[in-house]
Structures are given as C-alpha cells and as structure tokens.
Structure 1
Amino acid sequence: MTPPPVDAPAGVEALPLPGASTLQRARRPGIHGRGARLALIGPAFVACIAYVDPGNFATNIAGGSKYGYMLLWVLLGANLMAMLIQNLSAKIGIATGKNLPELCRAHFPRPVTWGLWVQAELIAMATDLAEFVGAAIALNLLFNIPLLPSGLITAVAAFGILGLQSRGYRRFELAIIGFLAVILLGFLYDTLRIGFDAGEAAKGFVPHFDGSDSILLATGILGATVMPHVIYLHSALTQNRVQATDDVERRLLLRFNRIDVSIAMTLAGIINMSMLIIAASLFFGNGPDVDTIEKAHAGFKELVGPSAAVAFALALLASGFASSSVGTYAGQVVMQGFIARAVPLAVRRAVTMTPALIVLAIGVDPSKALVISQVVLSFGIPFALVPLVLLTRRKDIMGALVNRRLTTVVAGFVAAIISALNLFLLIDTFGLI
C-alpha cells in the first residue's frame, strides 16, 4: 500500500513518494536492489545542476583562458568536497526526517538562526544573478533577444519547470536530468571537436597558483562548484522521500544515496573540467584573455565552427533554465526552515531576481557580474557547511547515522580550507597585505 504524499516545506508543492514498498523490494531475493536504486536516484541530480550553473561557465572559461590547465586541480578538489558535502546533507535528511534549516532553527539560538537566514537570502540573490544572467546571455546568443527580456523569459521558464512538481517529484527530477544531459552532451561534443593535450592537462592537477588573480579565480571556481543553497536543499529532497522504519532501512537508503551522489557529482565534475579544458585549449596563449561568455561563444564560432558555438549556447541555456528553478526551490526551503515562514512563490522570485534584472537593465558587463557573484557564493559556503558538520556529528540528532570521527575531521578541514581561502581573498582585495 502506497502512503500519501508527505508534507513538503511550506510554499513548496508536496512531492509524492515512491512508496514504502521501495525498500522492501530492494531486500527481496532476485531483485538485488536494482529497482530501488532507480526509484531512489534523483535528489543528487537536482542538487548537481547547481554545480554546473552559468557561474561555472564564467569562472571556468576565465580560468582556462587566462591560466590554461593550471586550475584543474581546484576543480577536482572542489568536486571531491561537493561529494562529501552533498552526502552529509542528504544523510541528515534521511536520519532525522528534517532538513538542515529546520534543524538549525531547532538546535541553535534564535539570533544565530536569523543571522543564518539573512546571509542565506543574500546568497540566494547572488545565485539568481548567475542563473538569470547566464540564461539571458544564452538567449541573446541563440536568438538575438535583448538581455532584459531574456531575463524575464528565464523567470517564466523557471516557474514552468517548478510547476512539474504538482504532477509528482519524478517529472521535476526527469526534467532536471534532461537539462543536465543537454549540458553534458554539449560539452562532450565541443571537447571532441577541439581536442586537447592530455599531457599538459595532467600537469593542471598539481596544486599551484600564479599570483593573487589566480586565487581570485580559484575562489570563484570554488564558489561556483560548492553551492551553499543546495547544501540546504539536498536535505529537504531526502528528508521524507521514503519513510524508513528502522536503522537498517535508513542505512539502506544512505547506501543508495551515496550511489546517487557519486554518479551525479561525477557528471558535474566532468562537465566543469570540460569547460576549463576547452577554454585552455582554444584560448590560452592565443591573444587577449577570453574573459566573457560572449567572447567564448565568438571564439567557438571562429575557431571551431558554428555547430560548436550552438552547442555551447544550448548548454548555457539549459544550465540557466534548470538552475533558476532549483534555486527557487532552495529559497523556499531556506525561508520555511530557518524562520518557519513562507511567501508566495511569485513574490519570492520577484525579490531575489531583482538584482539580476537590474544588472541586465543598466548594462553592467554580465560575464564580470557572473564571476563576482561566484566569489560572493564562496563566502556563503562556511555558513552552510559549519552547521552541517556540527549537527551531523551529534548522536542525539543523527542516531545510528552519526558521523564517524574521520568524516567529521575531514568535513571540518574542508570548512577550514574554504574559510582560509576566502579570508586571504578578502585581505588581498582590500590591500591589507
């Protein structure tokens, strides 16, 4: 018997569940968990679309154009961090039946909770800036639509994608997976058309920097890859997807979740590395730096051909449409969880997309705005990651799924590295050293 849909966060459509029998089928002889894996795969793909949003295009292209393959090691490290972080976020939802913002509200003092909410809302605006500007650029490149109308079209598209939730969580997830496939195929096509020096690319996995500008770009890449809002969202996607009745079933859910995260984040990593490798192969050392998406598109068209430029623009459009809908979903989870309030989706979207529309309206360089937005996002990562580590290490909250000591140490080290990198960037930017 299939249980009724579990209540979703206020302001977000309730998502019907695959049914309690999913876990039972996974444990029946002869099935070997295959059917359950298919039923449970999905949340990480929704989360991973934020790891390949338009901000990634801007930072990866800028990094590859200016420094060649040098920052590939940053992408690899960021992707490994993402796997750890998203596993912890998903685990907290499975273990507690609550999402990360709800747990922060329950276990932290009210001033701390409100402070976390305020910074999360600011991060949501920076996220929207990247997503809207990226999709607007893509529409402009493909159809010559002016940037401001393109931003409004993106808002409509985001609402349309979110509307699929009313027909069940699977339709929404499949739509996001479809967009991810477009992005992946676009960059695989361009990579195969362009080719690259594998030996030189391998040297990019040796950690090193080349001045403070490379650290700025590395921080932007980190902010574009490890996204604060999906640290909150992933816990909401798993919190009541399947109702486990005991610790054995929770561990089974956690095992399937690890498969989900591993596949999704590996695909995201391949896409991000392809972006940087393509930019390095085409643009590094070949004249002025290609530091904007528009210049990259023109470079594809001139150096490779129109089909490569179209593949690039379509990947960017898919990224902008999908990530903007996921960002709206995450924003609702953040507000409901931290302060137990919700506003109509249209109002929320209007508020968070306003900075992006202002940027498009007044003619600010959109690609530069994208890179700066990713640096802002990087500063928001510790405010999501530190609470996640503090809560997942507590047995009274996590029960049998509490972190092992090694997991807590590694996650704490990741938070410290990100915080130190941001502090160095802040000091360097304001000339304090």
Structure 2
Amino acid sequence: MAWLLGPALVAGVAYLDPGNVASNMTAGARYGYLLVWVVVLGNAMAWLIQYLSAKLGVVTGQSLPEILGARLKNRWARRAYWLQAELVAMATDVAEVIGGAVALTLLFGIDLLWGGVITGCVSLALLMIQSVRGAKPFEFVIMGLLVIIAIGFAAGVFVGPPDASGVLEGLVPRFTDTGSVLLAASILGATIMPHAIYAHSALSRDRFARHRHEREHRVLHEGGVGVGRILRATRWDVTIALLIAGSVNLAILLLAAANLPGIAGTDSLEGAYLAIRDGLGAAVATAFAIGLLASGLASTSVGAYAGAEIMRGLLKVRLPLLARRLFTLIPALIILATQVEPTLALVVSQVVLSFGIPFALVPLVVLTAQRRTLGAYRNRVWTTAIGVVASIFIITLNVILLWLVASGA
C-alpha cells in the first residue's frame, strides 16, 4: 500500500508555506500560547477537508475545478468563481515567493527582489519535473523538501522548549483583542489553504487516473474493491501529511511563544531569525532559514500547480508553464520591489486566503455528499455534518473579523 501514498504529502506542503511561518511566529511572539487552540483546530479540520478533496479526485477522476467548470453553466458565474480562485492563487504566491526571498536574504545576503526571482525560477524547474517526468518524481522531490522543512522549523523547540502549562492553557478557545482575531483568521487561512483543496483533488486524479481507468468496470460495477483500497491508503496519506504539518506548525508557534515574547522586532521573519540566533545559537537560526527556503520553494511549486489547474478546470484554458508561472509571480515581485514589509505582506496574504476558503470548502462538502457525484462513496451524514460545521465556523470567524475591523475595536 506504500506506493499509493504521496499526493497528500505534496498537498500538505501548502500547510507549511512561509505564510504559516509568519502567522504562527507572529502569533507566538505577540500572544504567547493564546492561539495554540487555533492551530490544533485548524489542523483537525484540515484532515477532513483534504481527505474529501482527495476522495473527489480518486472516485470521479476529475479535480474540483473541473467539476465546478462543468456544473457552472453560466459563463459569468464561472468567470467570477475563477477570478476569486485566481486571487487566492496570487495571494498564495505572494506568501511563498516572499518567504523564499527572505530566506535567501538571511542565508546569503541576496537582495529581496532578486531572491524572489530566484525562488520563482527554481519553482519553475520543480514544475518542469512534474510536467516532464510525471507525478511520482515530483512527489519525491517535494517530500525531500518536506523533510528539510520539518527539521529546520522544529529544531528550535528542542533547544528552547515551551512551558507545558502554557501549552495546556493555550488549548482553551479564546481571543483577547482584534489583533488576536486577525491572527486567528491568518492562521486558519494558512492552515486550511483553498489552493490545497483544489490541488489535492488534481494530484489524486493525476496519480490514480490510469489505475482507475484500467479497473473502471470492475471497480465501479463489481464492488469497488480497487477504489476502496485507494481510499484506505488515502486516509493514511492524509493522516501522515497532516500529522507532520500540524506538528511543525505547532512547533513554530511554541518556539516563538517560549523564546521570542518581549523581544523587539520578533513579529517579522528577519527579527525572529536574529532573536533565534542570539537566544538559541547560529545553528538553530541557520536551520530555521534553510527550512524557510525549502518551504518557499516547495510550496510555490504546489501553488503554481494549483493555479494552472484552476484556470484549466474553470476556463478550459491551458497556459504554457512559463506564462502560468509569471502570471502569479509578478504580484509578489511588485510587492518586493516596492519594499512593503515582508512579514506584514505574508500575514495579510493569509487573511486573503482565509476569505477564499468558503468558496472552495462549501462546494467540496456539497459535491462529496451527492450520490450523483460520488455514488456509493458519497459522504456519510456525520461527515457532511462536520464539514458544514467547519464551513460555518470559518465563515463566522471572517464575519467577526470584518465587524471588529470596521468598528475599530
């Protein structure tokens, strides 16, 4: 069954992008252990969401954007949906390219703009692997980067461990002010990534399409043994991927909560790096920067893959790989060129992603609950109920955020 694993680990890189690092690091530095519960809850919701996305791709042989492109008959509705999804993809690239650029600056002193260009070029090379060599080699490269990310971000927790009682207190859901709500929305936007929902269905489709077609009659008309086996493996795949991603995200917040509060400038990636270097040593700081670089390179490749799938599925348009890469890379380079504070841009981009979640999540829950779409593999009632509750929670959090910001609270 091991050969069936992989798509979730690739999609899971989206949960460890530089936006996650910025959001979790800022949350820990500003509020200590207060938002631990948001990371844990977000990861739990992400498990169900990513499994539903993968199931959709496995059973139907289509991605979520493809199905929506076929179901949305009104071309203006389809274009409007594409536009919001494309803005989400751009916000994703902003976070990932800026993170890679910051890492190159920390490690080698490279200018931020040139660091962004280098990050974009390397991500294009990684995408070429997927286009030329197929899904499996691409998965191996991304999983290698995932190992580097995990080591780089988690190392500091073992050198500067968190307070156990503080961690337990942080599991109690609560907010203190508008800033904590903003960061909670940012963490959720970084944890439950809309483009990861789109990408996972496509990754599963790409990996299992040939296998599914070869067994189509026996699988769908003679008991579903083949699809059932793939779905069992997918549950393991998602569990492993989210266990890794959740643990590393929690480690980032705990690292900041335990070692960075009260230190000036630690709500930025550069300031956090310097504080980690001064407090925990150069080796831990270098590991952090290397993890940030690997995070930017891996996640921007997955983000560009998702963006291409969004355009292909909804607009039936295939752009050349280079053109597609430039389409979402340019906004990130503009931000770097205008010298907007990188960490602020990262956190705001994650809030944008949080507002894009319902547009991916609600259709996913609806489609996977339909017999018309998944037949015998449609969601059980309790699965759909949990998906609805998760959707309502995320939408409510965003409404509260808007109200607090508008009222100046």
Q: Does 1:189 align with 2:155?
A: yes
1:399 equivalent in alignment to 2:375: yes
Q: Helix, strand or coil: the match of 2:319?
A: coil
Counterpart AA for 1:392: T
Instruction: Tell me if structure 2 keeps the 8 A contact 1:62–1:289.
Output: no
Task: Indicate which of 72, 81, 97 corresponds to 1:132.
Answer: 97
Q: Distance in 2 between matches of 1:421 and 1:289?
A: 28
Q: What runs of 5+ residues in structure 2 fail to find an aligned partner?
A: none
Which residue of 2 is the match for residue 170 of structure 1? 136
What's the % identity of the aligned pairs? 46
Residue in 2 that maps onto 1:225: 191
Secondary structure in 1 matching 2:318: coil
Equivalent residue for 1:386? 362
What is the aligned partner in structure 1 of residue 175 from structure 2? 209
1:430 Cα deviation from its structure 2 partner? 2.1
Could you tell me the TM-score, scaled by structure 2's length? 0.95
- Letter aligned with residue 12 of structure 2: C
1:320-362 deviations in whole A, cap 9, x for unaligned?
Answer: 0001111111111111111111111111211211111011111
Residue 432 of structure 1 and its aligned partner are, at CA, apart by 7.5
Amino acid at match of 1:86: Q
Q: Distance in 2 between the 1:342 and 1:382 partners?
A: 26
Q: Tell me, what secondary structure is at the counterpart of 1:430?
A: helix
Does 249-258 or 143-152 show the bigger shift? Answer: 249-258
Given candidates 301, 308, 330, the residue that maps to 2:306 is 330
Instruction: Please list the CA deviations of residues 48-75 of structure 1 after superposition, one character each: whole Å capped at 9, or x if unmatched.
Output: 0000000011100110001101101000
Cα shift readout 1:253-308 (whole Å, capped 9, x = no counterpart): 11110000000011000000000000000112x34462100000000111111111
Q: Distance in 2 between matches of 1:413 and 1:115?
A: 26
Within the candidate set 72, 77, 96, 1:108 is matched to: 72
CA contact (8 A) 1:79 1:269 kept: yes
**Mapping of residues 286-365 of structure 1, within 5 Å:** 286-288=262-264, 290-365=266-341
State how many pairs are aligned: 396
User: Corresponding residue for 1:75?
Assistant: 39
The amino acid across from 2:273 in the alignment is H
Query: Residue 343 of structure 2 aligns to which amino acid in structure 1?
Result: S
- How far off is 1:248 after superposition? 2.0
What corresponds to 1:277 in structure 2?
254
RMSD over equivalenced CA pairs, Å: 1.2
- CA distance in 2 between partners of 1:260 and 1:277 (Å): 26
The one-letter code of the counterpart of 1:42 is G
Q: Which moved more, 1:410-419 or 1:161-170?
A: 161-170
- How far apart are 1:203 and its partner, in Å? 1.3
Establish whether residue 409 from structure 1 lines up as the match of residue 390 from structure 2: no
- Residues 1-51 of structure 1: per-residue CA shift (max 9 Å, x gap): xxxxxxxxxxxxxxxxxxxxxxxxxxxxxxxxxxxx221110001100000
CA distance in 2, matches of 1:171, 1:238: 15
Whole-Å Cα distance in 2 between the matches of residues 72 and 221 of structure 1? Answer: 10
Partner of 2:29: 65
The 8 Å contact of residues 191 and 274 in structure 1, kept in 2 or not, is answered as yes
**More displaced 10-residue stretch of structure 1: 51-60 or 234-243:** 234-243
- Residue equivalent to 2:59: 95
1:123-154 C-alpha deviation (Å, 9 max, x unpaired) = 11100100000000000000000000100000
Partner residue of 1:426?
402
Deviation at 1:186, TM superposition (A): 1.4
The one-letter code sitting in structure 2 at the alignment partner of 1:186 is G
Matched AA of 2:70: A
Do the aligned residues in 2 keep the contact of 1:195 with 1:281 (CA within 8 Å)? yes
Match of 2:117 among 147, 152, 156: 152
Contact 1:114–1:339 under 8 Å retained in 2: yes
TM superposition score normalised by structure 1: 0.89
- Picking from 227, 232, 247, the partner of 1:255 is 232
Give per-residue Cα distances to partners, 1:196-244, cap 9 Å, x unaligned. Answer: 2122212111111111110000000000111001101111111251314
Cα distance in 1 between the residues matched to 2:406 and 2:165: 38
Say which is worse superposed, 129-138 or 96-105, in terms of deviation. Answer: 96-105
- Secondary structure, in 3 states, of the residue corresponding to 2:162? coil
1:12-91 alignment runs, 5 A limit: 37-91=1-55
Structure with a larger share of its residues in helix: 2
